[in-house]
Structure 1
Amino acid sequence: MRIFRYILILCFAAGAVAPAVAQERKLVQFSGVIHNADTNVVVPYVTVKNESFKGQTYTANHQGYFSFVAHEGDTISFSSVGYLSTQLVIPRVSEDKYTAMIKMKAEIKELPLVTPYPWASIDEFNLAFMSLEIADDDIVVARKNLSPESLAALAAVTPRSASEIQSFDATQRHIGLTNKAVNQRMANPLLSPFAWGNLIRQITEGNKSRNRSNQ
C-alpha cells in the first residue's frame, strides 16, 4: 500500500512538472507554406499537428499556408492524402516567430486490379450463366463468327501482316508518283494552250512595236 502511494505521488509530481517545463519553453509564431517536393506546387488543406503539445491540430488553407503558436522544440507533423507524412522540429530562434517552407513528397500507391461485373452476387452470375443460350450447331457458330460485326471487331484488333503493309506502301508510292506527274504536266507551260496563246500575242505585239520605231 505504501509503495502504491509513492507511485501515485510521483505521477502527480511528474504531471505538475510537465506544464512548468512547457511554460519555460519560448513561445513562437510558427508559419509557413507547404509545397510539393517534385513540382513545387502548393499542397492545400494539409493537416498540421503539434505532437509535443496535447496533439493540437490545425489545417493549412487552400494556398498551403498555415500559422499558429507553438513552443521551441515542438515536433510538428504534416499529413495529407496522397503525400508521405513528414515532421519538423521547431528550432531555437532569436525572435518570437519562425517561418519554414515545408516540402511534401507525393505518395504513389498501386491498387490491386479490380474487374467490375454487372452482377451483384455470385448467385446472380450463376443464374445469368445458366440462362445463356449457346448454340451447339457448328454452322450457327460459324455464321456468327463470320458476321460483319464480328469481322469488323476482329479487324480492329488484328495487326497488319507484312504482305499487307508492303502492298499498302506500294499503293501509296504509286499514288505519289502519279500526283507528281500530274503536277509536272500542269506546271510545264509548253503543255498549256493558254501559255502558247500568250507567247504568240507577245511576239506579235513585239513586232508591231519594232515596226513603229523603225518608221
Structure 2
Amino acid sequence: MKYLIAILFLFATIGAFAQNHEERPIVQFTGIVHNADSSNVIVPYVTITNTSVRNTISLSNYKGYFSFVAHEQDTLRFTCVGYGPVTVVIPANVPNKSYTLQVSLKAQIINLPTFHVFPWATTDEFKKDFLAIKLADDDLDIARKNVSRTSMVALSNVLPRDAQEIQSANAQGMHTSILNSHSLTPNPLLNPLAWGSLIKQITESDNKSSNN
C-alpha cells in the first residue's frame, strides 16, 4: 500500500510539473556572450545550463553566438573557465516569441597559494648534493683561461691566420729583404759546420738502422 501511494504521488508530481511547463510558452532565445570589461572581446564556447528543464546544456560557438529554444521564465546559467557565472531569467510575455540578449561575463582572477617544490626527499640528500656541487666559473676566471698560454697555443694550432697577421709577416719579410739587399747572403753549402752537422745526422741514422 505504501509503495502504491508513493508511485501515485510521483506520477502526480511529474504530471503537475509537465502541465506547468507546457503552460509556459516557447521562446527562441538568441544572443552573444562577450567580456564585461570590453564589449569588443567575445567569449567563445560558453556553457549554458537550463536549470529549469533538467539542467539541459547548450553551448555558444567560437564567436560567442547562441540560439536555442527555451520557455518563458526559464532560468539559464552561463559558465566559462576563467569567468564568473551569470544567471539569466527569460521574462514572461515575450513579444514575437523571440528573446535576444547580450550576456556579459566578468573575468574571474583566482590567486592560488604559493607552492615551493623541494626535489630532495630528505635533508641528508640535500647536504650530499650541495657538498658535491661544482660551482661555475665567474667571468674573471673564464677570461683568465681564455688568455692563458695553453689556450693561446692550442688556438694558434687550429685557427688560420687572419689578414692582419699575414700582412705583418709579409711586411717583415720585405723589410728584411731590403736590409740584406746590399750584403752577401751566406751559402750553406760552403759552411763546414753545416756539413759536419749533416754528416753526424747521417751517421746516427745508419747506426740506428744497423742496431735495429
* Counterpart residue type for residue 68 of structure 2: F
Could you list the per-position Cα deviations for residues 57-93 of structure 1 after superposition, in whole angstroms to 9, with x for gaps in the alignment? 0111111110100000100000001111010001120
Structure 2's unaligned 5+ residue stretches are: 142-212
Pairs within 5 Å for 1:104-143: 104-117=105-118, 119=119, 122-123=121-122, 126-133=124-131
Q: Does 1:29 align with 2:28?
A: yes
Match of residue 53 from structure 1: 53
* 3-state SS, counterpart of residue 84 of structure 2: coil
CA pair 27-149 structure 1, distance change in 2 beyond 3 A: farther
Please state how far the C-alpha of 1:98 moved relative to its aligned partner: 0.5
Q: Does 1:94 align with 2:95?
A: yes
Backbone CA RMSD of aligned residues? 2.7
Structure 1's unaligned 5+ residue stretches are: 135-143, 151-215
Please state how far the C-alpha of 1:36 moved relative to its aligned partner: 0.8
**Displaced runs of 4+ in structure 1, greater than 6 A?**
none
* Counterpart residue type for residue 115 of structure 2: V
Distance 2:59 2:126 in 1: 51
CA pair 61-132 structure 1, distance change in 2 beyond 3 A: same
* 3-state SS, counterpart of residue 21 of structure 1: helix
Match of residue 181 from structure 1: none
Could you list the per-position Cα deviations for residues 164-215 of structure 1 after superposition, in whole angstroms to 9, with x for gaps in the alignment? xxxxxxxxxxxxxxxxxxxxxxxxxxxxxxxxxxxxxxxxxxxxxxxxxxxx
Distance 2:61 2:90 in 1: 21
Please state how far the C-alpha of 1:149 moved relative to its aligned partner: 6.4
* 3-state SS, counterpart of residue 29 of structure 1: strand
Please state how far the C-alpha of 1:132 moved relative to its aligned partner: 3.0
Distance 1:19 1:126 in 2: 69
* Counterpart residue type for residue 52 of structure 1: S
Please state how far the C-alpha of 1:4 moved relative to its aligned partner: 5.3
Please state how far the C-alpha of 1:148 moved relative to its aligned partner: 5.0
Please state how far the C-alpha of 1:133 moved relative to its aligned partner: 2.5
Q: Does 1:75 align with 2:75?
A: yes
Match of residue 37 from structure 2: 38
CA pair 148-6 structure 1, distance change in 2 beyond 3 A: same
Distance 1:33 1:110 in 2: 29
Distance 1:149 1:29 in 2: 75
TM-score of the two chains, using structure 1 as the length reference? 0.57
The alignment of Structure 1 onto Structure 2 pairs a total of residues equal to 137
Match of residue 20 from structure 1: 19
Please state how far the C-alpha of 1:116 moved relative to its aligned partner: 3.7
Distance 1:18 1:50 in 2: 15
Could you list the per-position Cα deviations for residues 8-51 of structure 1 after superposition, in whole angstroms to 9, with x for gaps in the alignment? 32221111221122111100110100111112211111101111
TM-score of the two chains, using structure 2 as the length reference? 0.57
* 3-state SS, counterpart of residue 12 of structure 1: helix
